[in-house]
Amino acid sequence: MGQYYLAIILAEKSEKEYIRTYVHPHMYNNGAKLMEHSYINNNFIRVVENLIGPKGMFYKCRLVWAGDYADNEPDSDKNLYSMCDEKDGFISNNEQVSYPYIVNHTKKMYVKKSGNIHPLPLLTAEGNGRGGGDYRESNDTLVGSWARDVISMENEVPDYTLLECEF
């Protein structure tokens, strides 16, 4: 079976995770499997980019692409994906812009977008490899390595280390 994903914005790190909002790919006429929406210039991805971009309401926030097959949260019988059932998703009708750089402020690294596959969902995915539609190609060890870190989209190169990752 296929695994479905939501882009989830988390509050600052604490003992228990608090979901600030989430974005569902179906809200933007996209498939919910990871590789159904993880490509450059996808409208769903652009909504997330704008949320964590310089003018976004969640600029420099913790981000995770949570799969419905991901592990449950500590001391809970639910994972982040299923916890979103209790909340309304974020809907944007604003014009969407795209940013060339994905920045991880937790790890002090950045990625320059290139090619066809968008690195943001892959780098922040939890649960990858557990269902159909997941990413299983080159550099798959990087998938999820930025999950729950403080992420932003930027127009300028930060004074951080470049992560070379071609998906």
pLDDT in tens, 104-161: 999 999 999 999 999 999 999 999 999 889 999 988 999 999 999 999 999 999 999 9
pLDDT of residue 48: 97
pLDDT band at residue 93 under the 50/70/90 scheme: confident
The percent of residues above 90 in pLDDT, for the chain, comes to 83
Mean local confidence (pLDDT), 6-17: 90
Give the HSE-up count for residue 97: Cα atoms under 13 Å, Cβ half-sphere. 11
pLDDT of residue 63: 98
> Quick check: 1 pLDDT over 80?
no
Beta bridge partner(s), residue 112: 101
Contact 24, 6 (CB under 8 A): yes
pTM of the model: 0.94
Closest CA to 114 of 48, 64, 59, 164: 164
Question: What is the residue-wise DSSP string for the chain?
Answer: -B--EEEEEEPSP-SS--EEEEE-GGGGT--SSHHHH-BTT-HHHHHHHHHSSTTSTTTTEEEEEEETTSPPPTT-S--HHHHGGGSPPP---S-----SEEEETTTTEEEE--SSB-HHHHHTEESTTSSBT---STTGGGTTTTTTEEEEEESS--SSEE-----
What's the pLDDT score for residue 13? 82
What number is the average pLDDT over the span 41-56? 95
Task: Tell me the pLDDT of the chain averaged across its residues.
Answer: 94
Asked whether the beta carbons of 66 and 79 are under 8 A apart, the reply is yes
- Amino acid of residue 42: N
pLDDT at 103: 98
